[in-house]
Chain A
Amino acid sequence: MKASVIVFPGSNCDRDVAVSLEAAMGKKPAMVWHGEADVPASDLIVLPGGFSYGDYLRSGAMAAHSPIMRDVVAKAKKGTPVLGICNGFHLLTETGLLPGVLMRNASLKFICKDVWLKIERNDTDFVCGYEKDDVIRIPIAHHDGNYFADEDTLDRLEGENRIAFRYCTSAGETGGDANPNGSRRNIAGLYNETGSVLGLMPHPERLADPALGGTDGSPMFASLAKALH
């Protein structure tokens, strides 16, 4: 399996996710600078977390027009799996690969803490190592994670089974204080129509090694390594 991690000016989780990918795949991913025109042939493209272009204008708005993103979008549309974490999720909505938008957190505060997520489905390459309805602990660290789409879009996403993860309590109950940022319908992660593009605000790479205090994120990278080998 060959993976590529796209690096933007301001990315700061690119090396973390590279470590997680290497641990699962046994091979270093390619690190691809945003100014390149083409992503090398890859079984997986990762858009990492961070603050691309300083979050100027809107989070992800500038990076969405980086030279490399034209090829990322083209490859995603041809079916190459794309994983967007945090700022990577912003990029996926700004390029239109995923619907909706991530607005300022309802509390207006930057939130950095562990949250609980419910696995809404486990039939994609990203999550086949989890069980459906598993509850996992994953850190969030964002200012703009408040998922918004109009009611018709939200209904369509639910109808098409495109919600990947929802914020919940440790017992798996959604709603109330378990929702850290005001996201509509407690959405923490979302798929495209075919399940080949995943965007999520939480950072699985930040709890994917016992030295980090937990490994609930590891199965995501193991799932990808197994599914895309």
Chain B
Amino acid sequence: MKARIKITLKEGVLDPQGKAIANALGALGFDGVGDVRQGKYIVVELEDTNRASAEKTVEAMCKQLLANMVIENYSFELEGK
């Protein structure tokens, strides 16, 4: 089974990298670009074939290491078996 995990900054947390990306897009001539937020995308392969227990494991992974819960949120999808 694969877990596809997205780590994003919480609302209200300034994202200077996102801002720099927005500016760069504007400089390239892409008009109408509003706020840009950037984050991390992590794919973890799991041996577990049980969805419920895999979900629990990935939750724990996100909380303990992959996300810093002070500034980041996480979400994930499980796919395959």
Please list the residues of chain A having a beta carbon within 8 angstroms of any beta carbon in chain B. Answer: 57-58, 61, 65, 93-94, 99-101, 103-108, 148-149, 182
Contact = CB atoms under 8 A, between A and B. Distances in A.
Please classify how large the interface on chain B is, using the bins under 10, 10 to 19, 20 to 34, 35 or more.
Answer: 10 to 19
Contacts of A99: 70
Interface in B39-76: 64-66, 68, 70-71
Interface string B3-46: 00000000001101100100000000000000000000000000
A9 B55 CA distance: 32
Contact of A108 (B20, B64, B71): B20
B21 to A, nearest CB: 11
A3 B68 CA distance: 30
Q: What DSSP secondary structure best describes chain B's contact surface?
A: helix
Given A103-B14, A104-B17, A182-B14, 10 more contacts: A61-B65, A94-B68, A101-B70, A105-B16, A106-B16, A107-B16, A108-B16, A108-B20, A148-B13, A182-B16
B17 A108 contact: yes
